[in-house]
Structure 1
């Protein structure tokens, strides 16, 4: 039977092992990640931020490490303390390598972030053209409305810079069936927002889609 001191030591080792896994994943230390997985570390253990090893690797865009963790069964939908998951974060940040991994390994296309938005909405806002293409092709709802009352189309116009990337994104969304007639909570459409913001190229594209 294990003594109290031995049990405490074993528990401390276990906690340290899981903590090291998260840190190693974030640092992209694939050798350490491999060793800890072989030693039986809990792949879904979370740190004080609620992040799993995969989530930490995603934050640091450690693609090789993320791939190894996903191959070992890491959950691409496991959310942290602020309702981000590896899938949602990679989509929002335009991290194409990890986003592809997530989409190929069970990403929940209906999952939402703390703003009630899908991965597509922040990807559109931040001008991540290829991420938007990937998410649209995967089947994310192009007309999903977040807690602000905005769709991906509205957010690309309202929070985008009106430049070439956002013009491309608006074209991709429209081609995928996004409804240009959907307005915000006040009924203001993406075209009307584009006109008010002086984003004339966006306004022209949206006018043609009416």
Structure 2
């Protein structure tokens, strides 16, 4: 029963039908409204929507129905979602080739069974259809990756015992252990490490290790577990960032303290741009982290490769509380300069204070988000998709065309824009961030104008 919409699914495996029970705004299949109390058989690939068609146009802009779904009607997938091992056994005996059919985003029936926590079916498929263990979705996700992402420890154990590859990576270079670490699924991570995953493996083009992701997320239990298992707090990414750099840049004061006091991290370690964790905390405006780092020995006079000190960065970026702390409690003061306006990485032509002001005004909550998935506006995109968008904006700017840069993002949902903005900030791509901020501000203005014209 789809409660508010008064629609029912009728299941007669492997067939599924939908019946509209007199909902207010109707049930739709492939843009056709279902006649009330009429059973409609769903076929693989059908679009099922509740409360209206899949999209509507208002003020010359298309709005997608959030209650729209593509129906995965492949028989083996239907059984993997809603059936039993006996259903799957009969299919293996009568049509074994159907067990290897892929559906939307190249999911197999094993992927579907993992997603729906069907342990018995996962065990059956892992035993009788072993090639499915290495099958990948369009995002490069194996069954083990999906199990780690969902925190399903029993299924992870089952898959590893059946021969799943512990070191297999998805399209962005994540192993199951990396995914468990990002999601802070400590029981799954502990199991994978106990099965032999090297805690200091830094894979993918960014070369981030498990400790980097736990520091970035601020998960103390995961952080402490990794340090106990020998994770190196001095391990660096492709850009030379240590876990402490990432903890500082995300305002995780407890994680920063743990890395220094329990892990022995170097409080003055520099990345490839010459920035220390203190620089990162200052640029973020993280006063509590700044105070901690200074207390534990951070050098307030350290200069980046472009000659910027933490005090200069704080002054230029307008972080008044940090400026006052440096001046009144540390005894260091430094006036802002035009040179520092390019930011810590020395990016030319960017007015850092203006950018910071725009960020605070239009998307102040973005820098505090822990996961994009938590944003009610978000349509979560893969990291690879976000990187391609950022690269497209950069190409447009490099060609001198603001319009080309903006067109890459034009029409994207608010949540996607926030993802791009967060990525640009994390990667210190301030020119890209400026483009996103401009689009967000125009959307906010449009929405405000539309709201003002709305009649009660």
- 1:61 matched to which residue of 2? 184
The residue number in structure 1 matching 2:7 is none
Instruction: Tell me the distance in 1 between the aligned counterparts of 2:133 and 2:187.
Output: 25
Q: What's 1:101 paired with?
A: 225
2:153 equivalent to 1:30: yes
Which stretch of structure 1 is more off in the superposition, 59-68 or 26-35? 59-68
CA contact (8 A) 1:136 1:173 kept: no
Task: Report the CA distance between 1:194 and its aligned residue.
Answer: 1.4
Conserved? CA contact 1:51–1:79, under 8 Å: no
Q: Any conservation in 1 of the 2:148–2:176 contact (CA below 8 Å)?
A: yes
Q: Distance in 2 between matches of 1:11 and 1:80?
A: 26
Alpha-carbon deviation of 1:14? 5.3
Residue-by-residue CA offset, 1:103-136 (whole Å, 9 max, x unaligned): 1111112211122110111211111111111111
1:122-166: CA deviation from partner (whole Å, max 9, x where unpaired): 2111111111111111111111111222111011112x13xxxx2
Normalised by the size of structure 1, how large is the TM-score? Answer: 0.83
**1:116 and 2:240 are equivalent in the alignment:** yes
- Any idea what SS the aligned residue of 2:146 has? helix
User: Aligned to 1:70, which of 188, 193, 201?
Assistant: 193
Per-residue deviation at 1:38?
Answer: 2.7
Task: Name the counterpart of 1:153.
Answer: 278
- Give me the CA root mean square deviation: 2.3
Q: Paired residues, what number? A: 197
Give 1:15's aligned residue. 134
Structure 1 runs not aligned, ≥5 long = 1-8
Q: Which has the larger radius of gyration?
A: 2
State the TM-score, normalizing by the size of structure 2: 0.40
- Structure 2 residue aligned with 1:192: 312
Larger relative contact order, structure 1 or 2 (CA cutoff 8 Å, min sep 6) = 1
More strand by share: 2
